[in-house]
Amino acid sequence: MNQIESTNDVVFPLRGLTFGSRKLAGVLFFALAAQFMTVIMLAAAMAPDYDFGAAAISDLGVLPETALLFGSIVRT
């Protein structure tokens, strides 16, 4: 028996390029993960006495120097 596949993939035009829904989801997932990692590294660099190996990333939310930055990335 043959499986019937639907070819009704939603296409999103963006600045002259067209993206399928799965490709757009993958690009957005990658971009958000990169943003999250960048903000976490920035916050860890700003925090005094923060140790990547010993501390949890949630500790960045309670330090006054990084609380606003960490809170903005977690609450998106």
CA distances from 60 to 32, 57, 65, 73 (A): 19, 6, 8, 11
9-59: pLDDT as tens digits:
677 777 777 777 888 889 889 999 998 899 888 888 888 888 888 888 888
**More confident site: 28 or 76:** 28
**DSSP, residue by residue, 35-64:** HHHHHHHHHHHHSTT--TTTS-GGGGGTST
pLDDT computed for residue 61 by the predictor = 86
